Amino acid sequence: MIKKFIYLEWKAFIRSASFGKNLTMKIIIGFLMIYFSLIFIGMGVGAFYVLKDMKLEPLVTINKFLIYYFLFDLIIRLLLQSIPVLNIKPLLVLPFKKPTIVHFSLGKTVLSFFNWVHALFFIPFSVVLILNRYDVVGIVFWHLGIMAIIYINNFLNIILSNIDKLFVVFVVIILALAGAQYYKLFDITTFTTPFFQNFYDIEGVFLIPILVLIVLHAFTFKYFKKNLYLDAGLSVKQDIASTENLTWLNQFGTLGTFLKNDIKLIKRNKRSKTTIFMSFLFLFYGLIFFANSHQPAVMHIFAGIFVSGGFLFVFGQFVPSWDSSYYQLLMTQNVPYRGYITSKWWLIVIATFISTILASFYLFYGWEVYLTIVVGAIYNIGVNSHLVLLGGAFTKTPIDLSNAGGAFGDKKAFNVNAMLLSLPKILLPLALYSIGLYLNNKNLGLGLVAGAGVLGFIFRDKVFSLIEKRYKIEKYSTINAYKQKS
């Protein structure tokens, strides 16, 4: 019976809209994945020697940070890891036993990227420990304990994903714990380090997380099975709708019509709401660079671009896929492509502008830092906004906005691939900025980047025509791709 499921899954995978269409894209993503895997493995191998160099006991030090590692992992999962949904509804009335359906759904999550990615770090790390004459049995037990906790996170994510905005709670917990530790009020690691260390030191302690894992698995299984009804776990939550007219936008004509629609789109769909949250997080991205003098100066412009570009990267990336479910409607209405693209452009510009204003707290690090952010914003408005819209013509993965299912619904937003695809958009300003730095003139670098932005802004009519042409060429294949529901 499991064979049949695997058959279905395989078909769903190879026949999805995003598969195979854009081979170059797949190859690039493949390379990036290998690249990041190598970094992880390198970290696993290197961590031991680096910590040793710093005269720290490697295993104890890692154990010290594990609590944060696991909490952080849980947040990332709550945000990003979608629960793989087997297309359950059609299976319910077929002669499948319910436990089989549930077992398979849960089994699928076990194979998720979010689980095996940790192995890339922990396996090399464990191997290096063994090579350095740590007790083999102890390390194996420690490793099993860690794995069990990773899988505990996996099942926690499944159970908790039904609760909205839960990750915020965990973010607060982490911030509180880290803050308390930093100010030496309360140090959680004094309790957790020995616990993790005991996996290694005392034989049998690792059975604790494994037991917890088994109990949790049983619980998840029961929970899933109990909810396997159309009006329970498989039901779609219905929101109480309120009509908003947003009449103040009427003065902008067609542009206003689309803006009105986009605002409702963002407000009323889980997926798009998450993008707003993500772009808010981007605001703080600069802290890594500006608060840290070890970072090379050239990375400042990198941060500058990202601080104001959050919305651009996480929302703009998916234009026009946001409208994928009713793309045919738009194509039959009296809508010039230009009006459509322009309204999306304005949305990005407004968001970039707001982000720039919100980012004014960077003035705390000096006006030069803020200037970098403003220059980044100019570049985002002038160049990157056009680039994402242009890229949108090739984005043919439909977004299922209405997906707000119950326990089994895939409600997670945001796709990791898209993030990686945005990398090229920052290489050009990086290059321009480094020219300035190379000539020992930081302001020249900023000037070059801003200049590129202004140029892009001046020629935006030309660029829009180009984008419009692209959209028209891609029209039919886009419509076709959007007809496939993911």
Partner 1 sequence: MLINKKVKMCQFDNQIILSIRNLKSTIKMIQVNQLIKNYNGTTVLNIENLEIPKGQSFGLVGNNGAGKTTFFSLLLDLIQPSKGSIHNNNIQVNTSENWKSFTGSFLDESFLIGYLTPEEYFYFIGDLRNQNKADVDALLAQHEEFFNGEILKNKKYLRDLSKGNQKKVGIIATLIGNPEVIILDEPFANLDPTTVSRLKKIIKDLADNPNVTVLVSSHDLQHTVEVCDRIVALNKGEIVKDIKTSKETLQELESFFAV
Instruction: Name the residues that contact partner 1, by CB under 8 A.
Output: 236, 238-245, 254, 256-257, 260-261, 264-265, 268-269, 325-329, 331-336, 401-402, 476, 479-480, 482-483
List of E strands, 54-172: none
Q: Closer to partner 1 at the Cβ: 245 or 440?
A: 245
Complex with partner 1: residue 269 or 275, whichever CB lies closer = 269
CB nearer to partner 1: pick between 89 and 483: 483
Q: Which is nearer to partner 1, 402 or 441 (CB)?
A: 402
| Concatenated DSSP letters of 105-135 | HHHHHHT-HHHHHHHHHHHHHHHHHHHTT--
Nearest to 186, CA basis, from 196, 177, 195, 174: 177
Rg of the chain over Cα atoms, rounded to whole angstroms, equals 25
Closest approach, Cβ 333 to partner 1, in A, equals 5
Token pair in block for residue 333: 């209405």
Task: Report, in Å, the least distance between residue 85 CB and partner 1.
Answer: 18
CB of 49 to partner 1, least distance (A): 53
CA dist 480 and 17 (Å) reads 9
CA angle 370, 375, 377 (to 5 degrees): 95
Rounded distance between C-alpha atoms, residue 376 and residue 305, angstroms: 4
Identity (one letter) of the amino acid at 18? Answer: S
Q: Look at the block and give the residue holding tokens 């090379």.
A: 296
Least CB distance to partner 1 at residue 210 (A): 43
Taking the complex as a whole, the smallest distance from the CB of residue 22 to partner 1 amounts, in Å, to 21
**Residue 236, strand partner residues:** 405
Q: How far is the CB of 462 from partner 1 (least distance, A)?
A: 21
User: Which among 75, 59, 220 is positioned nearest to 141, based on CA atoms?
Assistant: 59
- Cα 158 to Cα 60, 224, 228, 387, 469: the distances in Å are 31, 9, 14, 36, 44
**Toward partner 1, which CB reaches closer, 27 or 331?**
331
Distance between CA atoms of residues 331 and 327, nearest Å: 6
- Residue 320 Cβ, how far from partner 1 at the closest point, in Å? 13
For residue 250, the minimal CB distance to partner 1 (Å) is: 8
Which residue lies nearer to partner 1 by CB, 223 or 346?
346
Residue 123 vs 479, nearer CB to partner 1: 479
Nearest approach, Cβ of residue 338 and partner 1 (Å): 11
Query: Residue 8 is encoded by which pair of tokens?
Result: 């279905």
Which C-beta is closer to partner 1: that of 185 or that of 241? 241
The rounded distance, in Å, linking the Cα atoms of 52 and 56 is 5
Closest CB to partner 1 among 151 and 337?
337
Q: How far is CA 446 from CA 6, 137, 300, 353, 457, in A?
A: 54, 56, 10, 18, 17
State the Cα–Cα distance between residues 331 and 289, nearest whole angstrom. 44
Comparison of 24 and 332: residue with beta carbon closer to partner 1: 332
Among residues 390, 360, 386, the alpha carbon closest in space to that of 372 is found at 360
For 242, the token pair is: 């309120």
Give least dist CB 99 to partner 1, A. 32
